[in-house]
Amino acid sequence: MKQDTIDFGFKKVRVDEKEKLVAGVFDSVASRYDVMNDFMSLGIHRLWKHQAVARLQVRSNHDVLDLACGSGDLALLIAPKLTSGQITLSDINNNMLAVAKNRLIDNGRVANIHFSQANAEGLPFQENSFDRIIMGFGLRNVTHKERALASIYRVLKPGGRAIILEFSHPTNALLSRWYDTYSFHVLPFLGKIIANDADSYRYLAESIRMHPNQESLKALMLSAGFDSCEYTNLTGGIVAIHQGIKY
């Protein structure tokens, strides 16, 4: 049976509306995205990203895809590791891609770097194109997660590694209650004060709650074809790093 509606945070919207609604969220927050990340995570997001890049195990000759690249902070960590390899930054949102492009240029990263505006559900790359793929805090915003994971698997080379860094579900009940209070009261307040946009950050909090938990995401990756899937919880499960290998 064809699916007519899908989650947009806690709301149900038509399937064909979600992509446009998510685009509106990121159009709204693009210019203040990095500042808000620091405020809402107390800077811990930088540690999460360093750990995700370490798990990626990039070699100097690798071709890397930074999917849902956002403002380009993961690419800034990966690019210095590449000498003969290259990195492609891809995002569905043109405003976020522009922020990433300007940021890498400002940091002197112009060699072996490419940009592609693309939907993760149908990546415009040939099969077996990339040695490594990383997706940071983007999967929960995709309309059909299973299609995105299948698309990632298709463009990953045999022997390649995919890393999904995403908000997840706390493993401790006390931490979970604190996290709910922070997410639904403090986070929208910060969004209003810093980015003049409480609604977008309320959506981000809701989208995290609707995202599959650690085991469910692992199962989705296995269904997409990945082997040796495993995950590591960070900060008590608030964030998780999922890893899949393509044999």
Residue 76 has pLDDT above 60, yes or no: yes
Query: Nearest CA to 208 among 137, 114, 125?
Result: 137
Query: Nearest CA to 75 among 124, 108, 30?
Result: 108
- For 55-113, the DSSP string reads HH---TT-EEEEET-TTSHHHHHHGGG-SS-EEEEEES-HHHHHHHHHHHHHTT--TTE
State the chain's maximal CA–CA distance in angstroms: 50
Tokens of residue 26, six digits:
């990121």
Please tell me the total count of domains within the chain: 1
Residue 1 has pLDDT above 70, yes or no: no
Tell me the pTM: 0.92
Residue at 108 is within a domain: yes
Average pLDDT in the chain:
91
Residue 138 has pLDDT above 90, yes or no: yes
Residue at 142 is within a domain: yes
pLDDT of residue 226: 97
Q: Identify the weakest region by mean pLDDT among 27-41, 60-74, 174-188, 211-225.
A: 27-41
Helix-helix angle 33-41:187-195, to 10 degrees: 150
Predicted confidence (pLDDT) per residue in 88-133, tens digit: 999 999 988 999 999 999 998 878 999 999 999 999 999 999 999 9
Q: Which amino acid is at 56?
A: L
Residue at 146 is within a domain: yes
Residue at 180 is within a domain: no
Q: State which residues form the domain around 166.
A: 33-172+207-245
Residue at 94 is within a domain: yes
Residue 137 DSSP label: S
Residue at 194 is within a domain: no
Residue 167 sits in a domain whose CATH number is 3.40.50.150
pLDDT of residue 22: 81
pLDDT of residue 31: 66
Residue 78 has pLDDT above 70, yes or no: yes
Q: Within a 10 A sphere around the Cβ of 59, how many other Cβ atoms?
A: 14
For the segment 71-77, the average pLDDT, to the nearest whole number, is 94
pLDDT of residue 30: 66
Residue at 3 is within a domain: no
- Residues 6 or more apart whose CB falls under 8 angstroms from that of 24 comprise none
DSSP, collapsed to helix, strand or coil, labels residue 48 as: helix
Predicted confidence (pLDDT) per residue in 43-66, tens digit: 899 999 999 999 999 999 999 999
The CA-based dihedral angle spanning residues 231, 149, 139, 19, taken in that order and rounded to the nearest 10 degrees = -170
Residue at 184 is within a domain: no
Query: Nearest CA to 161 among 129, 126, 132?
Result: 132
